[in-house]
């Protein structure tokens, strides 16, 4: 059993702390936000993540997981200080490291025993060295025995607990092999490959992984747009490609593009780092451009179907950036709603989890209790997030409620043939034609 302090109770910090407690460690999670900590102490979760509330509750009861705003208490006797604070990106993509700096300073000011500082926040390559420098300088007169380890997270929202407990790999970067090995011990029971590298390489693995996944999505979206013009179906193209073991099927779902708290921030930050160091990130630039266009394309298609959008009623199903989360950061829905409203459309929307976040971020939007209310009087419906709840929708009821039965399936969730048979005008993403029985007539 190790004593772990986790600084930052955002997505990464809370999941990491909770899972380490569940693995039997003594974990104290710290945040400067008093309301957040007081809610966590009442078992009220600041985010929606399947299973999190139950695991937090069980580990609090077992006395392995506590929440505090007190740095001294959290760092006292801690073997490890995990830094899991936010690193918001500025307009040019540069990460804001002020919270990482504060965490490093707190360690320098308050710790007087050997400690391993583990960085979980996604930070520009070189930040690990910078953190070590901050601590060293602040302790100039009274050296502290410490090491910095980079341990990037690869958790997906919606399956974060499972991703933590069953990782594909754990990456640890450090100049001090012993420190990396100590962190490796924390993950040993998970029986997954553990890769130990130097600090900068570990930091780069995180950016390269996220940028690669975003690239796959932008690639398939570009293929989808070509499919649309040439009369092919991208869903089957992806399946056909995916059978090739060298390619694989994951992250080849065409749609409205990638969003969320990681991909947009990380791709932008990587491109920014490249430019800063004199390299032209041509591919990354294209990956971002395609993603932006993907949201606009659906509005072009809608305009084509409806003439102009002024005073048209458009329903949006799904607002979160992907299913099983209430997170709407960089969600395609944000831009789509904005573009629709700019063209004078009335927007109605429903999301199974993200209504509260949406009402804070989206102005003048009519929030509904269910998909059928959204459909009432709508000239078209856009499916923006592929929640399971939308798979089994009562299409007849939807059809009856709509003023015009136009469906823009932004996630290729529904069966075009079924919907067309029911009298809908169906548009998917990259589904130029949908031929059944190989009938070319
Ligand atoms: C991602 C990474 O997967 C994770 O490893 C990292 O730690 C954080 O960023 P997350 O943001 O939770 O996780 O979402 P993810 O499930 O990866 O999806 C990202 C975005 O890509 C979503 O907007 C999703 O809708 C989109 N996506 C995903 C597609 O458009 N097509 C796909 O085939 C897959």
Best residue among 207, 210, 213 to mutate for probing ligand 1's pocket (most ligand atoms within 8 Å of CB) is: 213
Domains: count for the chain: 2
What contacts 308, CB < 8 A, 6 or more positions away? Answer: 343, 344
Is the per-residue pLDDT at 434 higher than 80? no
Question: What is the pLDDT, as a whole number, of residue 155?
Answer: 94
Is the per-residue pLDDT at 90 higher than 90? no
Ligand 1: atom nearest CA of 122 is: 7
Mean residue pLDDT of the chain comes to 95
Residue 156 annotated as part of some ligand binding site: yes
Regarding whether 142 and 171 lie in a shared domain, the answer is: yes
Q: Write out the H or E segment, with its range, that includes residue 77.
A: none
User: What's the mean pLDDT in 203-225?
Assistant: 98
190-204 pLDDT, tens digit per residue, is 999 999 999 999 999
Regarding whether 244 and 176 lie in a shared domain, the answer is: no
Segments forming the whole domain that contains residue 95: 3-197
CB 36 less than 6 A from any atom of ligand 1: no
Which of 197, 224, 246 corresponds to the end of one domain?
Answer: 197
Regarding whether 269 and 403 lie in a shared domain, the answer is: yes
Is 202 inside a domain boundary? no
Best residue among 260, 319, 412 to mutate for probing ligand 1's pocket (most ligand atoms within 8 Å of CB) is: 260
Regarding whether 239 and 124 lie in a shared domain, the answer is: no
CB 156 less than 6 A from any atom of ligand 1: yes
Is 203 inside a domain boundary? no
| % of the chain exceeding 70 in pLDDT | 98
240-267 pLDDT, tens digit per residue, is 999 999 999 999 999 999 999 899 999 9
Distance 47 CA to ligand 1 centre (A): 17
For the chain, state the CA radius of gyration. Answer: 24
- DSSP per-residue letters across 235-283: HHHHHHHHTSTTT-STT---SS---SSSHHHHHHHHHHHHHHTT---HH
User: What's the mean pLDDT in 101-108?
Assistant: 97
| % of the chain exceeding 90 in pLDDT | 93
User: What's the mean pLDDT in 109-128?
Assistant: 95
Question: What is the pLDDT, as a whole number, of residue 95?
Answer: 84
Count Cβ atoms below 10 Å from residue 46 Cβ, excluding itself.
17
Regarding whether 235 and 176 lie in a shared domain, the answer is: no
Question: What is the pLDDT, as a whole number, of residue 89?
Answer: 79
Regarding whether 227 and 187 lie in a shared domain, the answer is: no
CB 210 less than 6 A from any atom of ligand 1: yes
Question: What is the pLDDT, as a whole number, of residue 366?
Answer: 97
219-256 b/e with 16+ CB inside 10 Å = b? bbbbbbbebbeeebbbbebbeebeeeeeeeeebbbbbb
Distance 214 CA to ligand 1 centre (A): 8
Regarding whether 232 and 125 lie in a shared domain, the answer is: no
Regarding whether 190 and 89 lie in a shared domain, the answer is: yes
CB 255 less than 6 A from any atom of ligand 1: yes
Kindly list the catalytic residues: 262
Question: What is the pLDDT, as a whole number, of residue 433?
Answer: 59
Q: Write out the H or E segment, with its range, that includes residue 66.
A: strand 65-68
Residue 61 annotated as part of some ligand binding site: no
Nearest CA to ligand 1 atom 6: 154
Question: What is the pLDDT, as a whole number, of residue 439?
Answer: 39
Distance 172 CA to ligand 1 centre (A): 22
Is the per-residue pLDDT at 440 higher than 60? no
Question: What is the pLDDT, as a whole number, of residue 91?
Answer: 78
Regarding whether 147 and 263 lie in a shared domain, the answer is: no
Which of 162, 197, 232 corresponds to the end of one domain?
Answer: 197
Residue 411 annotated as part of some ligand binding site: no
CA distance 142 to 154: 36
User: What's the mean pLDDT in 32-40?
Assistant: 97
Is the per-residue pLDDT at 441 higher than 50? no
Regarding whether 280 and 148 lie in a shared domain, the answer is: no
Q: CATH code at 261?
A: 3.40.50.720
CB 411 less than 6 A from any atom of ligand 1: no
Ligand 1: atom nearest CA of 158 is: 12
- DSSP per-residue letters across 348-408: EEE-SS-HHHHHHH-SS-EE-SSHHHHHTT-SEEEE-S--GGGTT--HHHHHHH-SS-EEE
> pTM score, two decimals?
0.93
Ligand 1: atom nearest CA of 210 is: 2
């Amino acid at each position: 059993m190790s004593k772990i302090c986790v600084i930052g109770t955002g997505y990464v910090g809370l999941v990491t702390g909770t899972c380490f407690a569940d693995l039997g460690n003594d974990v104290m999670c710290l945040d400067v936000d008093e309301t957040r900590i007081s809610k966590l102490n009442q078992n009220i979760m600041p985010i929606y993540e399947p299973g999190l509330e139950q695991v937090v509750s069980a580990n609090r009861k077992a006395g392995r997981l506590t929440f505090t705003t007190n740095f001294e208490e959290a760092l006292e006797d801690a073997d490890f200080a995990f830094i899991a604070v936010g690193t918001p990106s500025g307009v040019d993509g540069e990460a804001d490291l002020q919270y990482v700096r504060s965490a490093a300073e707190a360690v320098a000011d308050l710790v007087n025993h050997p400690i391993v500082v583990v960085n979980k926040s996604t930070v520009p390559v070189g930040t690990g060295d910078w953190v070590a420098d901050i601590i060293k300088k602040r302790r100039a007169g009274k050296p502290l025995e410490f090491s910095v380890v980079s341990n990037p997270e690869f958790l997906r929202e919606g399956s974060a607990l499972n991703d933590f407990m069953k990782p594909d790999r754990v990456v640890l970067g450090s100049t001090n092999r012993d420190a990396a090995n100590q962190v490796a011990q924390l993950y040993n029971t998970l029986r997954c490959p553990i890769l130990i590298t130097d600090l900068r390489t570990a930091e780069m693995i995180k950016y390269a992984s996220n940028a690669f996944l975003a690239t796959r999505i932008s690639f398939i979206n570009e293929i989808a747009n070509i499919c649309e013009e040439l009369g092919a179906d991208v869903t089957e193209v992806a399946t056909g490609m995916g059978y090739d073991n060298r390619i694989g099927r994951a992250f080849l779902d065409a749609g409205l593009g990638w969003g969320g708290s990681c991909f947009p921030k990380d791709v932008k930050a990587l491109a920014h780092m490249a430019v800063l160091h004199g390299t032209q990130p041509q591919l990354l630039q294209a990956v971002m451009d395609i993603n932006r266009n993907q949201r606009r394309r659906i509005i072009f298609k809608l305009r084509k179907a409806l003439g102009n959008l002024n005073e048209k009623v458009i329903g949006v199903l799904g607002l979160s950036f992907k299913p099983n989360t209430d997170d709407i950061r960089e969600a395609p829905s944000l831009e789509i709603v904005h573009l629709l409203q700019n063209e004078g459309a009335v927007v109605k929307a429903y999301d199974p989890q993200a209504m509260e976040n949406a009402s804070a971020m989206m102005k003048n939007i009519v929030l509904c209790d269910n998909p059928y209310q959204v459909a009432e009087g709508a000239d078209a419906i856009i499916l923006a997030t592929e929640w399971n709840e939308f798979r089994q929708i009562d299409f007849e009821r939807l059809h009856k409620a709509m003023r015009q039965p136009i469906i823009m399936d932004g996630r290729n969730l529904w069966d075009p043939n079924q919907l067309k048979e029911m009298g809908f005008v169906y548009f998917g993403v990259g589904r130029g034609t949908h031929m059944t029985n190989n009938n070319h007539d």
